[in-house]
């Protein structure tokens, strides 16, 4: 596959229209998405999009007669993003600070204090800072949230698997 002037012009036009690299590869045919991205990089077009647009698939030429004689309909505009679902109440309750603790920035907590995030974001992330459970990074309340208790059947199955493994190693 060679990059002719016509193919480069089509590549540039499709890219400026907001078509994704995969869509351009489909439209050009006989070229991979990686080849399209490489050519866009060499043409210094990868950073040319001013605002990040949602990638679109190539729907074929618009308003042009198909081989069957029918006209392609114009592309349908992208629908607005659906609203974000409401957060469930249990998530809100989990990330609330415990009543008997004073949440502090995560990076300023002392050894032996709970590391569970209870608020903030990025550098302002707050942690619980309650006393931790032995051999854990979390207080008992948050340890129970982070680590699911195994059922007795699951514990028994794991013990059987370990016993079988020990027998195989001993043999």
pLDDT in tens, 138-148: 988 888 888 87
CA 40/CA 27 separation, integer angstroms: 15
pLDDT tens per residue across span 120-131: 878 888 888 888
Where in the chain are the domains? 5-48, 96-171
pLDDT tens per residue across span 5-15: 999 999 888 88
What is the sign of the dihedral through the CA atoms of 99, 102, 105 and 108?
Answer: negative
The structure's pTM equals 0.38
For residue 91, the model assigns a pLDDT of 64
For residue 47, the model assigns a pLDDT of 75
For residue 163, the model assigns a pLDDT of 93
Residues of the chain with pLDDT under 50: none
CA atoms within 13 A on the CB side of 156: 3
CB 112 within 8 A of CB 136: no
């Amino acid at each position: 596959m060679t990059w002719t002037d016509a193919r480069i012009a089509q590549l540039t036009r499709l890219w400026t229209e907001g078509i994704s690299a995969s869509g351009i590869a489909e439209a050009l045919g006989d070229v991979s998405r990686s080849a399209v991205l490489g050519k866009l990089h060499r043409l210094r077009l990868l950073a040319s999009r001013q605002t990040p647009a949602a990638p679109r698939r190539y729907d074929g030429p618009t308003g042009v007669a198909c081989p069957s004689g029918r006209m392609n309909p114009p592309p349908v505009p992208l629908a607005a993003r659906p609203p974000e679902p409401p957060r469930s109440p249990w998530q809100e309750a989990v990330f609330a600070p415990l009543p008997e603790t004073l949440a502090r920035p995560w990076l300023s907590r002392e050894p032996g204090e709970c590391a569970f995030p209870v608020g903030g974001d990025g550098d302002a992330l707050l942690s619980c800072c309650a006393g931790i459970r032995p051999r854990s990074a979390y207080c008992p309340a948050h340890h129970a949230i982070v680590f699911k208790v195994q059922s007795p059947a699951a514990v028994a199955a794991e013990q059987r698997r370990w016993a079988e493994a020990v027998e195989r190693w001993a043999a």
